[in-house]
Amino acid sequence: MIYRDNRLKALLWMFIGGMAVLAFALIMNEFSSLPKPEAKKPVTSFQVAPPPPPPPPPPPKPKPPEAKPKATPKAAPPSLGSNLAGVDMGLGGFGMDSSMDDGLLGDTSNVVMTADTVDVAPKPATRTAMEYPKKARELGVEGHVVMNLLIDEEGRVTAVKVLESIPEGTFDDVAQAGIVSWVFKPAMYQGKAVKVWAKQKVRFTLN
| pLDDT one digit per residue (tens) for the chain, 207 residues | 565 667 777 777 777 877 776 776 677 766 565 556 555 554 444 454 556 677 777 777 767 666 655 544 444 333 333 333 333 333 333 344 444 333 333 344 565 776 667 888 888 999 988 899 999 999 999 999 999 999 999 999 999 999 999 999 999 999 999 999 999 999 899 999 999 888 889 999 987
Position 197 in a domain: yes
Residue 198 and residue 123 share a domain: yes
Position 124 in a domain: yes
Closest by alpha carbon to 151, among 192, 123, 127?
A: 123
Residue 108 and residue 30 share a domain: no
Position 185 in a domain: yes
Residue 160 and residue 101 share a domain: yes
Strands 112-113 and 192-204: parallel
Position 125 in a domain: yes
> What is d(CA 87, CA 94) in angstroms, rounded to the nearest whole number?
9
Number of domains in the chain: 2
- Helix count and strand count (H, E) for the chain: 3, 9
Residue 194 and residue 112 share a domain: yes
Closest by alpha carbon to 143, among 162, 122, 165, 173?
A: 165
How confident is the model at residue 59, as a pLDDT? 73
How confident is the model at residue 7, as a pLDDT? 73
How confident is the model at residue 9, as a pLDDT? 73
* H-run or E-run covering 2: helix 2-33
Residue 116 and residue 191 share a domain: yes
Q: In the chain, which ranges are E strands? A: 85-88, 94-98, 112-113, 123-126, 143-151, 157-166, 183-185, 187-189, 192-204
**Which domain does 5 fall in, by range?**
1-34
Non-local (6+) Cβ contacts of 1 within 8 A are none
